[in-house]
Amino acid sequence: MKLLTKKEKLEIHKLLLELYPHRRCALEYSTPFELLVASRLSAQCTDVRVNIVTEELFKKYRTPQDFASLTVEELEPMIRSCGLGNTKARDIIAASKKVIELGGIPDTMDGMLSIPGIGRKIANLLLGEIFEQPGVVIVDTHCIRLANRMGFVSEKDPKKIETELRKVIPANESLDFCHAIVFHGRQVCSARNPDCENCPLSGLCKKYL
């Protein structure tokens, strides 16, 4: 498939920001550490389900110290409905201990990646949401699907997609772009049923053309 030109990519980027002015992170949180926990829970789970679970969870446990005091056996039942309960419980407890050891959530990619259970997707999200760092690119399942369909990339490797998108999306708008692409993936360009006929991006999208 032919890829979009840089001009076309920027046009789609602009359109996406116009289409979704109320774009935001769909995970509910009130502290940076809560976002870290919610992000880890969101792997292979819907944000809606994570928000239901964390609404109860964060009433009792909120800080790294709270979570570090738990055992996997204590935490797992509370997060089981998000799936991968044992793995996520183990990671969240280990991440809590690491954040305590570091004296807080680090503000660099390398620092983020030193935390158990945190990969590039969550690290970019946290760097953008918490530290408002420019140039973050969150490559989740929606981003992989839409970036390929629209013709930003012909590539499934998240790190390569991140690099390609960073080359073209303005750094100060890349977090907004990622949130908007998730909204578009949920509302119009779903995995099974993309509504191309009614898609405002169809004039540019390479899948539709």
**Residues designated as active site:** 121, 140
Helices and strands (DSSP H and E) totals, the chain: 11, 0
Using the contact rule CB under 6 A, the part of the chain among 35-43, 68-76, 123-131, 201-209 near ligand SF4 is 201-209
Assess contact for 3 and 151: CB atoms under 8 A.
yes
Q: Per rule CB under 6 A, is residue 136 in the interface with ligand SF4?
A: no
Number of residues that bind ligand SF4 (CB under 6 A): 13
3-class secondary structure per residue, 121-151? HHHHHHHHHCCCCCCCCCCCHHHHHHHHHHC
Give the nearest distance from C-beta 132 to ligand SF4 in angstroms: 28
- Interatomic CA distance for residues 8 and 75, integer angstroms: 47
Q: Per rule CB under 6 A, is residue 199 in the interface with ligand SF4?
A: yes
Restricted to residues 28-67, the positions that interact with ligand SF4 (CB under 6 A) are none
Give the nearest distance from C-beta 140 to ligand SF4 in angstroms: 16
Contacts of 25 (CB under 8 A, 6+ apart): 35, 125, 129, 179
Among 9, 40, 121, 149, binds ligand SF4 (CB under 6 A): 149
Site for ligand SF4, rule CB under 6 A: 149-150, 188-189, 194-196, 199, 201-202, 205, 207-208
